[in-house]
Amino acid sequence: NHTTRNASLFPDVFLFDPRLSETLNCKSCTFSTNRGDAMANHLTERPDHVCSMIEDKAKDVVDRPASDPVSGGGFKPVQDYNSDSKETNNENGAFVPIQLNRPRPISTQLKVKPLKSASSSFFKPAMTITFLKSDKPSASWSLVHLSIVLSSLCHGIHVVSRRCRLAPKAIRALITLQHRSLMQKTWSWNTDKMAEWVLSRREQQLSVTEYVLLTTARKTLGENTSMEECYSWTIDFMLRHDLGLQTTTNNKLENIQADKRMFVRSLHKKIQGGALPYHCLGCMDELPVFINTNLFLRQNAEAFQLFSSPDIRPKFDIIVSALSNGIFLPPLLFFTGTVSAIPDEFPDNVLLEARNEGFTDEERLKIWIDKVWRPHVTSKHNHESLLVVDVHRGHLTETFKERLADTNTDLAFIPQGSSRQLQPLEICVTQVLRDFLLVRWNQLVSDGGLDGLMMDQLALTLACWFSEVSSTLKSRREILRGSFSLACGTKQGNRQEESAGMITALTKALSQPPDTGGPKQELEQEPAPEPVARVKVMGDFEN
């Protein structure tokens, strides 16, 4: 009577990370879980085992505690939208149930209607969301919608999709509507410095939370400003400066543009006249992965994060690099921990380094030069090379410069805040890579893959995910070649369209198995929205 999430029948009925309120125990062994998929797989592999169910009334239906908000800041519960509905009154009030109706073919606008009568389904929603045709955008948005949009801009669409149980396409529709409304609004604030701060945080993989942005909004607009106005102002700020994680690289900051022009001119002088071959021009960047050990042991999907605060060390640090001829160099994974044994089938297009005490920036860069840059680039060609990097993570140290000089490699430093437009990897690869890792992680959680998974096994799993990316980019070299052309300013045409096209192409390529080219779980296919969407909204964000 149970079918797993991977079954092709009835895909819409499956929820992301389904957890029962009862505990499933195997009578024949010590295995127990709250996931039906995990128990189904267990019984399939062991037909002689028997499952029993024990009620666990103390278990909350929501894995994330009420003190763990979407944004990482403090939240207050959303008030009941229908004062006549007693079913939605809740003293703890952490979530508001929402019924999502399928859009009509002509739908272009969202509208929220309180239900007049109880729903015939198993829950009683506080409101119903339907799509209606409208010539003008809505003048006012609900706090719930504003919270979803701002959280998506801060943390990424796939993260909010997982937390709020909303399809990514639905979230993109909300963002698009907000973006269209910008044309009807005036903007009289000078927020360039604030935007530069956000960009600097982004390129260091540091989190940008709603708390900081909303606090700034309230100080700018006045202490008596309503929450809706603060949210709306903050969203406008993020969209006008193109500061969301899913960027269009369309930032128009004056200082950033000036630095960009100087960098491109300097780069052209070094590569002009074809003096520098394509296989000698490269770029390098780091991608940290943060694992909350406590949440990981509790098999909580929130354990896996790609952004964090400066005082938290990543569990994994991955150095990715590429050449302007389209070659993606082997990713190098640094794991703070130990791996008992590397299996024989470990992929040969990715490298793994593990140490209990972790690695310093200097150690990481030295290992990368010795195991990636020197053997794959400089030792093969008796020619001067050029490496494009940002100004973070120890790249400005004399030690790093001297070690690269020993390999006949010069450095070109991307100005702070300009990585999105000048780092070839950031233009198309990094954005897709983050979404790919989140999709793989979500799939692992949904399949019950965290049951009994140790941290060293996660390291091997992560290496396999990067192997997929490496194999895909190896077969699609035109993507990286196009990224370098955009970064160096040598490609004519619409920059936004070119970048979006490469992102779409890479996303589609990663959604296909590398051997057959057949269908596979698409990066866009996050879990289908639940009948009840759980949304939290930040309340008091004052100090």
Alpha helices (H) along 32-142: 36-45
Is 66 buried (19+), middle (13-18) or exposed (0-12) by CB count in 10 A? middle
423-451: burial string, b at 16+ Cβ within 10 Å, e else: bbbbbbbbbbbbbbbbbbbbbbbbbbbbb
**Separation of alpha carbons 11 and 4, rounded Å:** 10
**Separation of alpha carbons 435 and 440, rounded Å:** 9
pLDDT in tens, the chain (543 residues): 555 555 444 343 344 556 666 788 888 888 888 778 788 888 888 888 888 876 543 333 333 333 333 333 333 333 333 333 333 344 444 444 444 444 444 444 444 455 454 444 455 555 555 544 434 334 356 889 999 999 999 998 888 988 888 888 999 999 999 988 888 888 889 999 999 999 989 888 999 999 999 999 999 999 999 999 999 999 999 999 989 887 656 667 888 888 888 888 888 887 776 678 888 899 999 999 999 999 998 888 899 999 998 889 999 999 999 999 999 999 999 999 998 788 888 999 999 999 999 999 999 999 999 999 999 998 887 788 999 999 999 999 999 999 999 999 999 999 988 888 899 999 989 989 999 999 999 899 988 888 889 999 999 999 999 999 999 999 999 999 999 988 887 665 677 788 888 999 999 999 876 544 444 444 544 433 333 233 445 555 544
- Is 277 found in the same domain as 315? yes
- Is 277 found in the same domain as 152? no
> Residue 373: its pLDDT value, please?
96
Residue 304 within any structural domain of the chain: yes
- Is 207 found in the same domain as 269? no
- Is 331 found in the same domain as 223? no
**Separation of alpha carbons 309 and 134, rounded Å:** 42
Cα-Cα-Cα-Cα dihedral sign, residues 366, 460, 393, 280: positive
- Is 353 found in the same domain as 325? yes
**Separation of alpha carbons 306 and 432, rounded Å:** 13
Q: What is the CATH number of the domain that holds 407?
A: 3.30.420.10
- Closest CA relative to residue 362, chosen from 317, 422, 326: 317
- Is 286 found in the same domain as 240? no
- Is 305 found in the same domain as 190? no
Residue 43 within any structural domain of the chain: yes
- Is 469 found in the same domain as 400? yes
Structure tokens at 499: 């970048």
Structural domain including 28 reads 18-55
Q: How many domains does the chain have?
A: 3
- Closest CA relative to residue 540, chosen from 230, 192, 183: 230
Contact 207, 308 (CB under 8 A): yes
Structure tokens at 408: 């006949």
**Separation of alpha carbons 165 and 313, rounded Å:** 29
- Is 444 found in the same domain as 393? yes
**Separation of alpha carbons 390 and 100, rounded Å:** 44
Residue 5 within any structural domain of the chain: no
**Separation of alpha carbons 69 and 147, rounded Å:** 11
Query: Three-class SS string for 507-533?
Result: HHHHCCCCCCCCCCCCCCCCCCCCCCC
Residue 484 within any structural domain of the chain: yes
Contact 427, 484 (CB under 8 A): no
Residue 383 within any structural domain of the chain: yes
CA-based end-to-end distance of the chain: 52
**Separation of alpha carbons 209 and 447, rounded Å:** 30
Structure tokens at 75: 């939240």
- Closest CA relative to residue 387, chosen from 487, 486, 484, 282: 282
Cross-strand pairs, 127: 98, 114
Contact 337, 316 (CB under 8 A): no
Cross-strand pairs, 371: none
Residue 184 within any structural domain of the chain: yes
Contact 487, 422 (CB under 8 A): yes
- Is 282 found in the same domain as 139? no
CB atoms within 10 A of CB 491: 14
Contact 442, 496 (CB under 8 A): no
- Is 293 found in the same domain as 399? yes
- Is 237 found in the same domain as 386? no
Strand, coil or helix: 450:
coil
Residue 396 within any structural domain of the chain: yes
Residue 7 within any structural domain of the chain: no
